[in-house]
Structure 1
Amino acid sequence: MLFLSGGRSTAQHSNLPICTAPNEQLFPDIVSDGDRGAIIAWMDARNGNRDIFIQRIDAKGKILWKKDGIAICQLPGSQGWPILIPISDNNGTIIVWRDSRNGNPDLYAQRIDINGTELWEKNGIPICQNLASQDDPKAIADGEDGVIVVWEDWRNNRQDLFAQRVNGKGEAIWSKDGVAVYDGTGDQYDPSLTTDQTGGAIFAWWDISTPEWRVFSQRISADGRKLWPERGLTVCEANGNQGGPLVISDGSNGAFVVWSDYRNDPAIFTTSDLYAQRINANGQRLWNPDGIVICDQMENQQQPFITHVNHGIGGIVITWWDDRDVFSDIYAQWINGDGEPMWALNGLPICIAEGEQRQPKLIRDKSDGTIIYWLDYRGDYGNKATSAIYAQRIDKNGRSLWALNGMPICLADGGQMTPDAIMTDNIALIAWSDGRNGDSYDIDIYAELILLSSNITE
């Protein structure tokens, strides 16, 4: 366990092995267990084909279930890319995954309790079994011990978006194989969703059926009805292309949407800016019609990630990687509920160390601050192309509380990939795929528990 206060590390640490079974373990997802610990799921190739495994750890990092995890699904075909959804009564989790047991990829789910016992049908219940392919699922809790899932779907010989709601008993509430979020002309990409706080969801995606690629949004009620225009609400109509949206609840039955924007791009998809919009429960845009600027520096800004803030006037914190200094660095911005930037114009530098920093993500720290973590190549000058994991904690005023340019979470040889983190009380838990054993075909799952030994003060 790593002990961190407002400043520096107070103890040496070694990472916690979650799974060191043979072959690859990839794409860990982590969720709170409701008791200061965590449940971690991953895609596992120990049996040759890919399966879903899961493990639970307590607040001290003790492994609570079977060594190297318990199997959720080991059927023929491939099962992968698990998503964990917390249960409101803190009694376990719902797991959603992509599954090719029937040939083309379908979507399945399982519910387990705090002891790792499966509560639904063995090997999972189907979310969608349409004969066409279903891919890129995203999922959220429905607020009533169930789950809402959205995915890209090829049943109409184009890439549409469908969604399904499943209750806590494993029963589909909406139409069999899902309701259409959008099934018009052209292809739709990268669905994102958030709760509407009434049992339904607000969705965002980007659409290439128009001359210029656009970001759209839709709200679907708890009983599966579209509440906004049939083709969705246009989030931005500025010149140029927009894509890669993320959506998160605004706490008032509406949502914030953040996207990559090419309105100032001198070429085609070479220089992206970041913009945001707030939409109310009725589908009305509340900020500038084409969004407010998060960052419009001359160079490229990509891979935004967002979370809520509770700083009295609300809003969101956004982090991204940024090419303004040639090599990509990590920046962040707090946008309040009125669409006003609260930190430095065009973002606050989180890490501007040498080398590349990529794939930033963030979590709230329970003290009105934020922990940002990322893949870091500062020690790699192109010989091995391996990454470490670093993190930084900032308060609501944008002050960095840990070491300049971040605190190392893992520096093991072989590289680390796809970190995911949660906050439970005063402990941040981070899990990732890890190549420290030196075999590129034998990747393991490791984790770190970071005890925040003091809260943020004004």
Structure 2
Amino acid sequence: MNNKRDIKEAGKMRGRVILAAALCLTFVAAIVLPAEAQWIEDGTIVAAYDGYQGEQHMVPDGNGGAFLAWTDDRPGPADAVFAQRFDAYGNALWAAGGVPVTMTISYNQQHTNIVPVGDGGAIVVYAHEYSAGNYNIRAQRLDAEGNMLWTVIGISIVAAVGDQTYPVAVPDDEGGAVIAWRDDRMGNRDVYAQRVDSSGVVQWTANGVAICGAAEDQFNVVIVSDGNHGGIISWTDFRAVVNSDIYAQRVRYDGVTMWTPDGVPVCTGSGHQNTPQIITDDSGGAIVTWNDYRAVTHTDIYAQRIDAGGWMLWAMGGVAVCVEASDQGSPQLVPDGSGGAVIAWHDFRAVMFAHWNIYAQRLDLNGAAQWTSGGVVICDALGDQEYPAMAPSTDGGAIIAWEDDRYGNYDVYAQKVDGSGNLLWETYGIPVSDVSDMQVNVRLVEDEEGGAIFSWMDNRPIEYNWDLYALRMDSEGYWGYPSAYITSVEDVPYDEGLQVTVTWDAARIDDYPYAAVTEYDVYRSILSYPDYTWTLLGTVEAFQLASYSYTDVTTADSNLVDPNYHHYRIVARSSAPAVFWTSPPDSGYSVDNVNPPPPVSSWVDQNYPNPFNPTTTIQFGIRVAGRVTLRIYDAGGRLVAELINEHRVADRYEEVWDGRDRRGNPVASGVYFYSLTTVEFEETKKMLLLR
């Protein structure tokens, strides 16, 4: 199997808008709408500097993009925390390479977490080394432009004695965050939490509320929102001394712990239970999964659901997600949208081949397995597939990514599984990035269109120099945004108004080897963002062309009072009705032009519409009077029709070809060429007739 896709230039997003000063006086200005798309095959650079950029945390930005925060040692000599926001099209919305979250970097800043706050900004939480080897927790809020909103050194979440490390956080849905962390102020490792509001003011007891202060150590802290401005927190707990267990606690919006002091036991079975992961059950409770050693000889995967009152809803000790022979580990989970969960893990059951594979299982809201017993194989390619990461899908399934060394170095691969356990992408997954050297520590978030945005650590091209990259994969497994991109919405010159030509670059997957697009639908909205109301205008058949166009009759021309903008978007459709790719919108308007000036140079425009059936218009200008010919040729160079062969004065013209030859017979569908020749100018362009 070829592990590299054909490399093609990423799609471009450009736009031009025609502006009118008055009905009889016209000028044109170019405005880029929006910025050029930045997703690049095998990964767009997030941060690539000498040293180390890694340990990234990523969350959705609520608008199809993503926030990232990471540890970065570029300033030296200490580690710092940087952040970046990407939109859905791969444009970095903040400073290139990310923005620092503090201006003070005298000691290390690590263990980063980031949460969206609903206004295009985010809160970044991190462990701050306040003296050599001692950490506490600080936070910074960034606005939609990446500017610091709190003090330049961040605000203190906790500054108790000892170490406070590994913070985790969730939005409080009021512009602030609920934060939990590991805390050894009492000698052993405990769990504490704090809430900070949108202004950077802590809301609970100074230095945090004790979530669990039981004997021995508590660590591996995870958190999910309780849906009411508080959080549900779970952790690995060694209070039993001989083995570790899983506990959980709910902390209310006001800092009051709601369940049994020091937490309720999620699982206290024999052997070790550790490394919990947690998600919401969409009913005010949570679902927790973990590594479980009760089988003694190997590790299994178990899960439990907890309601808002702290009661266990599934079997005592949890339900078995996978108890196959040999080890299963590193479970991750996402909500299935119906009160259950999709759980993925790496699995060593193929012991005869001595490598790890990726499996997954779906549990319903009652904890019943919905897929094959023991899980569905997500990838069992050669080599190791390890450390899955997940994002929810819209159909009860998930997108799952992992580290994959099938070719010797670790790469990032992914697979999409639907709610019934069917694999939707290529067998063994698709490469998100499989360039030379290593790609590891993959993270991903949903993009609101059935795809996901991925990030990973990458040591290309210098070993031991880790950088960060990111890439979007759409719902069909194509990288980036393979949609068409509108390149212009322009007035049809000197047509007495009411017409614009919409031109777009073809979708990247229009051409071979994909040939995935069958047609383009052209939509128009008179209303602007955010009140777009789209109306289908027409359809243009796809024919592996580089670009296409469509001429629309507008509802009104521009004038001094109202430019009468019309907004357009192009939907590239496949043979499957539910599979399509939508362009970003662009806009323009028509102009009622009167008494145009003579051309300053000769020219010929691209015909419109193109492709066409049955007629198309060719516009051209002549600077010097003389004989002019406009001829149509077929793909073999044979003359098909002669539209002009006569003397013309300097002026602007347009001619219509009706798709007939010199004898008046309709010609067949196919590629044709039109050639304009004057006394000083000659140019040939291609057009496509589709009957």
TM bracket (short chain)? 0.7 to 0.9
Q: Per-residue deviation at 1:366? A: 3.0
> Retained in 2: the 8 A contact 1:273–1:300?
yes
Matched, 1:190 2:272: no
Matches within 5 A, 1:40-439: 40-48=124-132, 49-88=134-173, 90-157=174-241, 158-210=243-295, 211-266=297-352, 271-310=355-394, 313-381=395-463, 385-401=464-480
* Equivalenced residues, count: 399
Q: Relative to 1, partners in 2 of residues 1:119 and 1:222: Cα closer, same or farther, differing over 3 Å?
A: same
Indicate how the Cα distance of structure 1 residues 10 and 78 shifts in structure 2: closer, same or farther if over 3 A, else same. Answer: closer
4+ residue runs of structure 1 moved beyond 6 angstroms? Answer: 9-12
Q: 1:6 to 1:62 in 2, by over 3 A?
A: closer
Flag structure 1 segments of 5+ consecutive residues without an equivalent.
Answer: 404-453
- 3-state DSSP of counterpart to 1:266: helix
CA displacement at 1:72 relative to structure 2: 1.0
Secondary structure in structure 2 of the residue aligned to 1:107: strand
Give the secondary-structure state (helix, strand or coil) at the position aligned to 1:235.
strand
Seq. identity, %: 36
> Offset at 1:183?
0.8
Letter in 1 for 2:124: I
CA distance in 1, matches of 2:443, 2:131: 31
Q: 1:14 offset after TM fit, Å? A: 4.1
> Which residue among 16, 39, 42 is the counterpart of 2:99?
16
State the Cα deviation string for residues 311-337 of structure 1 (Å, max 9, x = none).
xx3411111110001000010111111
**Cα deviations by residue, 1:58-106 (Å, 9 ceiling, x for unpaired):** 1111111101211111111000111111113x33000101111111011
Q: What amino acid sits opposite 2:444 in the alignment?
A: L
Greater Rg over alpha carbons, structure? 2
Q: Deviations over 1:86-127 (max 9, x none)?
A: 113x33000101111111011111001100011111110011
Distance in 2 between the 1:183 and 1:369 partners?
38
Cα deviation per residue 1:415-457 (whole Å; 9 max; x = unaligned)? xxxxxxxxxxxxxxxxxxxxxxxxxxxxxxxxxxxxxxx9962
Secondary structure of 2:582's match? coil
Question: 1: CA distance between counterparts of 2:403 and 2:415?
Answer: 12
Partner in structure 2 of residue 433 of structure 1: none
CA contact 2:437–2:460 (8 Å) conserved in 1: yes
The aligned residue for residue 424 of structure 1 is none
Q: Secondary structure at the match of 2:101?
A: strand
For 1:402 and 1:302, locate their aligned partners in 2 and report how far apart those are by CA, in whole Å.
Answer: 28
TM-score, normalization by structure 2: 0.56
Paired residue for 1:449? Answer: none
Q: Cα distance 1:121–1:347, how it changes in 2: closer, same or farther (>3 A)? A: same
Tell me the distance in 2 between the aligned counterparts of 1:16 and 1:24.
16
Other-structure match for 2:524: none
How far apart are 1:292 and its partner, in Å? 0.4
For the residues of structure 2 that align with 1:302 and 1:340, how far apart are their CA atoms? Answer: 20
Compared CA separation, residues 10 and 277, structure 1 to 2 (3 A)? closer
Q: Matched residues in 1 for 2:171 and 2:91: separation?
A: 32
> Which amino acid is 1:122 matched to?
A
Q: Deviations over 1:261-316 (max 9, x none)?
A: 1110237xx51101000111111111001110110112101111101122xx3411
Q: Residue 6 of structure 1 contacts residue 402 of structure 1 at CA under 8 Å; is this kept in 2?
A: no
2:474 and 2:481 in contact (8 A); partners too: no
Deviation at 1:6, TM superposition (A): 6.4
Matched residue SS, 1:161: strand
Q: Cα–Cα, structure 1 residues 344 and 325, in superposed 2: closer, same or farther, change >3 Å?
A: same
Q: Which moved more, 1:2-11 or 1:18-27?
A: 2-11
Equivalent position to 1:5, from 31, 37, 58: 37
Q: What CA distance in whole angstroms lies between the structure 2 residues aligned with 1:192 and 1:29?
A: 15
- Superposed CA deviations along residues 164-223 of structure 1, whole A, max 9, x for unmatched, are 011111111110000001112111121111111222111111211203321111112211
Give the SS at the match of 2:478: coil
**Aligned residue identity for 2:247:** F
CA distance, structure 2, for counterparts of residue 379 and residue 272 of structure 1: 27
Flag the 1:3–1:98 CA change in 2: closer, same or farther, 3 A: farther
Instruction: Tell me how far apart the structure 1 counterparts of residues 145 and 421 of structure 2 sit (CA, whole Å).
Output: 40
Q: Distance in 2 between matches of 1:79 and 1:190?
A: 19
Q: For the residues of structure 2 that align with 1:390 and 1:168, how far apart are their CA atoms?
A: 36
Unaligned 5+ segments in structure 2 are 1-33, 41-89, 483-569, 572-580, 584-691
- What is the CA RMSD across the aligned residues, in angstroms? 2.1
Q: Is the 8 A contact 1:214 1:236 kept in 2?
A: yes
Distance across 1 between alignment mates of 2:328 and 2:387: 13
Amino acid in structure 2 at the alignment position of 1:379: P
TM-score (norm 1): 0.83
Residue by residue, what CA displacement relative to the aligned partner does 1:15-37 show, whole Å, maximum 9, x if unpaired?
31213421110011000121100
SS at match of 1:333: strand
Q: CA deviation at 1:402?
A: 7.1
